[in-house]
Structure 1
Amino acid sequence: MVSSALDHNKPRVLVSGLSNGLGGTEIVVGRYIKALSSYATFEFLATSDLSDVAFVHEMNSEIHICPDIDRPIKRFEYLDHLFQDEPNRYQAVWCNFNHLLYADVLRAAQRANVSVRIAHSRNSRFLGGLPTQVISRFNRHVALRNSNVRLACSKEAGSYFWGDNFQILPNALDFNDMEYDPVSRIVIREEFGLSPKDFLIGTVGRLTSQKNHIFLLKIMKELLTVKSNCKLMIVGDGPLHKSLQESAATLGISSSVLFAGERKDIKDILSSFDCFVFPSTFEGLGVAAIEAQLNGLPCVCSFGVPDAADISDKFLKCSFNVAEWIDAIISMNRPNKLAGGRLFMTSTSKQVNCCQSSLVDNPLVSVIVPMYNAEKTIQKTLNSLQCQSMSNIEIIIVDDGSTDRGAELVMAIAEGDNRIKLISQNNSGVCVARNRGVDEASGDWVAFVDADDILPINAVRLLLESSDGCSLVVGALLNEHCDNSSKAISIGWETACSLSLAFWDNVNKVPFPSFANGVAFRSVCGKIFNKSLFRNGSLKFEDGIRFGEDALFMVDAYRLAENVKVVDSAVYCYVNNSDSVTRNTDISAIEGVDNLLIKLYELCLVNPDLNELYKQSAVREVLSLIRNLARFESNQLYMPVSNMVCQPYFSYLMEGFASHRYSRRLISEVKNRITIRLLLARRVMAAIGFTKFVYGVC
């Protein structure tokens, strides 16, 4: 017996009928107990320590190991002491039955006057051989006489065990636990040496005669003659494991049959399948088939699976005829579905519905995502786009010559979502990638998202709802830090506009805060642009600019927009990523900033009315570069920075820039190459914060 600290203020329930493994009963009971653990204390009665039933040990529950029925006297004495030594110890017993060998638990509970005695049938026939069948039939009257609550997982299971007097308790399933995962599909298939072209059929369940795996092997032998790229994966363990492997060898199909053993990553396993097969001779409900449908899989099942397991339009039942199964499997394939949608069951009909808003009432929004070596982050980014509450979007991924598996992951995700479009190009930089995305966009509106950031679920809807009568909508941003904290970057209406520029004076436009102070205004993210702004190349990203490209683009966007509206709600989440281009500093980064300064200098000469904006952008990018350099112990890169800020074009950009004295001092230190004073200036920057340091908000 394993002891644990018990909450004596909560009712105690004794649970029996679990075996030491990851069977369907153990999984479903575990879900209920986890959900109810705050309302009751659960103890377990079993013939083993349940060492492989993880949730029992995670809950630190008390386990009572009772002698098996092959020691009837010892078993009777144990149960008698368990219930009689501490009267009123249990307020309920919950007996889960796949057969009725252990109906004596209910009898012992009745003798101890336990108030609630639940008999719960988990199958539509008694499991086991002839002795088990005989004893179970004899014990049926024991279970009926000593229980006062009778439950079943399906109509078939209840009728077989209890006759007419029972209630159906639906098995607990969490849709999110079984949702299709395209990345897991790739990982699992690589684990088992499968190619993307292999058609993988699979099944999940204990290797017992009930699951009828031998029939599945016969199907596989014939199936390979008409579909040579087929593979079969059998997930689970049990007494027939060795004999099934021998049967596969005898049939000459060992190379096409994968025995995966017992697995805990069932969602990932299901994601690797193309079709789920379930030839059981009988089932209580067929939870494995329901989980497969929740994963988006088509299912071919036997008539031994109850009708209650049929929850989608990709569910077929077949008789035990090999040819019939082959025809059904070939006709089925994982359907293209909107990833991020949810599967829902209705009581009146079977259907699969996507939880998406109408595609008709809203204009199309093209979301452009430039991607370069974003294998680690692109799935999270795409998931946030797929789950948008306003689903009428197209997602354009522009792969800018990535050398990792990012494009492969996108293609896998796109298999389940026809809104995703992948475009590949040679490495040309983020500006070229974004321009390419705009050229390919079909939407009425355009949005930009970086491949390591995410959108809140209502982002597109909030922006689009404010789009009437304007050509640019601006939203607030959220900054997600590595410690999972989030810092809002608000619009800040209390900051009055400090720029006396002609195009801000339009009465139809909102009063903007300082362009340099408002990162929400400088970034291209967290906004939607009317496609008309891009007509005839009037608005585009400057090719060859690696740093500060957003600020240059946004100056033109505000100038061209006939009207601008602002949503003071977070519609974009920056994720601080140490691998981001803007956070990595090397000689190429310094060259990139240098190119930007030259471009800003040229723009100042062409558009003198915008000088203040361009100058603010120039100083900001240099100070941002120095901030990134401050993360390195070596001062090796300070020399090229010093040379850059000594150039005449930078001196021009510094003229008349009313910034905080510390930022001017830091620029001076870089120019003069005074290392000690530079280090002190770096400490000042770290102490007062970068924004305050640059803009004097202290």
Structure 2
Amino acid sequence: MKTIKVLMINTIPFNRNGMSMMMMNYYTHFDHKVVQCDFIVNKYIEDDYKNKIVDQGGKVYIFPSRNSHPLRYIKWLSKIMIRNQYDIVYVHGNSATMSAELYAAHRCDVTTVVHAHNVKTEHPILHELLYPYFAKHYDYAFAAGIEAGEWLYRKRPFLVIKNGIDSSVFEFSQSKRTKIRDSLGIPEEAKVLIQVGSFTEQKNYPFTMRLIKKLKDSHEAVHLIAVGVGPLLESMKEYCEQNGIQRYVHFVGSQSDTGSYYSAADQFIFPSLYESFGIVAAEAQANGLPCLVSREVPRAIDITGNIKFESLDINDWMEVILNRNFQRSKYTLEQTEQLFVLKGLSIGSDALGMQDVFKTMVEGKDIYK
């Protein structure tokens, strides 16, 4: 069988957000003799992501802003689809605004897949206006979880695609722990929390900053490592300055080696307002971290059992954080990998499964059976 050519479309900037990380995890584990992908990028892509795609035979196309120039974007997309003759156009997004990509693909008569990555959209009015077109013009539907699929596809069928990872990449390292703590000036005796995610409303960093302030007001030796970038970053830095906690909050930006930062921490926190899965919580568990997450995070993210789901009450979160029994797991690397396999979250087998689904699509068969 000839190589299946897939055009992967990321409708948000290609930085270290859950959607982009999932796309890269699958791409790097595909057999590129079976499936080869090119990528459409909205606004921006991290250099190491771009280099990895190109090194493995893919092309990267960057459009300045799909939201600001939708008609120009559709015309540009159509040219790329016609030029490269893809078998599948695979669109990753959160809402019916994926209609723009579907329209371009429909003009080019290409099989389409849409992938729901969240349970809410930042464009609810536009979502409802475009929904009738969206619902009629995709061929296949994927979702990051049951909640995301039910939200976007309503009563239509969809396939849940697991957000598998290579758990060995995030194995705990004492040397990396020491190196990161020393570089940030964190005392050995301090308890270190870590939050990984874009500085957006969804990730609820204001709650995190209030939590750190209250812990410091209670004279607790706590530091926070905040990994990520985004529109709320500067306002969070200002909050820390205004409330005198800037020495204890370490903004480290976007990091390609998040495993080192997980190793430097003692607990992972994830106070999201909504989530379809939460891949960074899977990474943290692969590192052995105990995870404290909001009740808005799906229970499917519980892989190692070392995780607590709490309502967004700061006093409750303080109680969990200060509990001496809320500590790193003692699983070996092999035991951790087995837990991920049992949960169907091992990227090696997940990528092979998606390759089979692509084959089924190209053959025109039903993927939902």
TM class by shorter chain equals 0.7 to 0.9
User: Structure 2 CA distance, aligned partners of 1:182 and 1:338?
Assistant: 15
Secondary structure of residue in 1 paired with 2:16: coil
1:21 offset after TM fit, Å? 1.5
Secondary structure of residue in 1 paired with 2:126: helix
Secondary structure of residue in 2 paired with 1:255: coil
User: Structure 2 CA distance, aligned partners of 1:101 and 1:247?
Assistant: 34
The yes-or-no answer on 1:133 pairing with 2:124 is yes
User: Structure 1 CA distance, aligned partners of 2:25 and 2:15?
Assistant: 15
> Which residue in 2 is equivalent to 1:345?
339
1:190 offset after TM fit, Å? 0.8
Structure 2 unmatched ranges of 5 or more: 345-369
Stretch moving more, 278-287 or 70-79: 70-79
User: Structure 2 CA distance, aligned partners of 1:94 and 1:340?
Assistant: 34
User: Structure 1 CA distance, aligned partners of 2:200 and 2:211?
Assistant: 18
User: Structure 2 CA distance, aligned partners of 1:335 and 1:20?
Assistant: 31
Aligned residues: 336
> Which residue in 2 is equivalent to 1:435?
none
User: Structure 2 CA distance, aligned partners of 1:81 and 1:338?
Assistant: 51
In 2, are the aligned partners of 1:175 and 1:342 still within 8 Å (CA)?
Answer: no
Question: How do 1:486-505 residues align onto structure 2 when only pairs under 5 Å count?
Answer: none
The yes-or-no answer on 1:112 pairing with 2:104 is no
Give CA-to-partner distance per residue, 1:49-68, whole Å, 9 cap, x none. 63533333333522333462
1:347 offset after TM fit, Å? 9.7
User: Structure 2 CA distance, aligned partners of 1:199 and 1:255?
Assistant: 14
1:144 offset after TM fit, Å? 2.2
Question: How do 1:279-678 residues align onto structure 2 when only pairs under 5 Å count?
Answer: 279-331=271-323, 333-335=326-328, 337-343=330-336, 344-345=338-339
The yes-or-no answer on 1:149 pairing with 2:108 is no
User: Structure 1 CA distance, aligned partners of 2:333 and 2:68?
Assistant: 51
**AA at the equivalent of 2:68:** D
Secondary structure of residue in 1 paired with 2:217: coil
CA spacing shift, 1:107–1:174, aligned 2, 3 Å:
same
Q: TM-score, normalised by structure 1?
A: 0.46
> Which residue in 1 is equivalent to 2:45?
50
> Which residue in 2 is equivalent to 1:235?
227
> Which residue in 2 is equivalent to 1:61?
58
CA spacing shift, 1:14–1:340, aligned 2, 3 Å:
closer
Q: 1:40 aligns with which of 27, 35, 40?
A: 35
1:95 offset after TM fit, Å? 0.3
Larger Rg belongs to: 1
Q: 1:15 aligns with which of 8, 24, 28?
A: 8
The yes-or-no answer on 1:71 pairing with 2:69 is yes
CA spacing shift, 1:68–1:222, aligned 2, 3 Å:
same
CA-based RMSD of the aligned residues comes to 2.4
**AA at the equivalent of 2:75:** E
In 1, are the aligned partners of 2:306 and 2:329 still within 8 Å (CA)?
Answer: no
Structure 1 unmatched ranges of 5 or more: 1-7, 351-698
Give CA-to-partner distance per residue, 1:56-110, whole Å, 9 cap, x none. 3333522333462322332232233334x44x80100110013443321112212
User: Structure 2 CA distance, aligned partners of 1:211 and 1:143?
Assistant: 27
Give CA-to-partner distance per residue, 1:320-341, whole Å, 9 cap, x none. 1110110111125433515444
User: Structure 2 CA distance, aligned partners of 1:167 and 1:109?
Assistant: 21
User: Structure 1 CA distance, aligned partners of 2:42 and 2:282?
Assistant: 30
The yes-or-no answer on 1:245 pairing with 2:237 is yes
User: Structure 1 CA distance, aligned partners of 2:80 and 2:230?
Assistant: 31
Give CA-to-partner distance per residue, 1:640-698, whole Å, 9 cap, x none. xxxxxxxxxxxxxxxxxxxxxxxxxxxxxxxxxxxxxxxxxxxxxxxxxxxxxxxxxxx
Secondary structure of residue in 2 paired with 1:342: helix
> Which residue in 2 is equivalent to 1:90?
86
User: Structure 1 CA distance, aligned partners of 2:166 and 2:90?
Assistant: 22
User: Structure 1 CA distance, aligned partners of 2:175 and 2:134?
Assistant: 47
User: Structure 1 CA distance, aligned partners of 2:152 and 2:23?
Assistant: 19
In 2, are the aligned partners of 1:290 and 1:311 still within 8 Å (CA)?
Answer: yes
User: Structure 1 CA distance, aligned partners of 2:104 and 2:329?
Assistant: 54
CA spacing shift, 1:318–1:61, aligned 2, 3 Å:
same
CA spacing shift, 1:337–1:346, aligned 2, 3 Å:
closer
User: Structure 2 CA distance, aligned partners of 1:38 and 1:227?
Assistant: 58
In 2, are the aligned partners of 1:188 and 1:272 still within 8 Å (CA)?
Answer: yes
CA spacing shift, 1:345–1:139, aligned 2, 3 Å:
farther
In 2, are the aligned partners of 1:50 and 1:56 still within 8 Å (CA)?
Answer: no
CA spacing shift, 1:14–1:212, aligned 2, 3 Å:
same
Secondary structure of residue in 2 paired with 1:13: strand
1:346 offset after TM fit, Å? 7.7
User: Structure 1 CA distance, aligned partners of 2:3 and 2:185?
Assistant: 50
Give CA-to-partner distance per residue, 1:325-381, whole Å, 9 cap, x none. 10111125433515444224389999xxxxxxxxxxxxxxxxxxxxxxxxxxxxxxx
User: Structure 2 CA distance, aligned partners of 1:319 and 1:113?
Assistant: 47
User: Structure 2 CA distance, aligned partners of 1:34 and 1:334?
Assistant: 32
Runs of 4+ off more than 6 Å: 346-350
Q: 2:210 aligns with which of 193, 218, 225?
A: 218
**AA at the equivalent of 2:279:** V
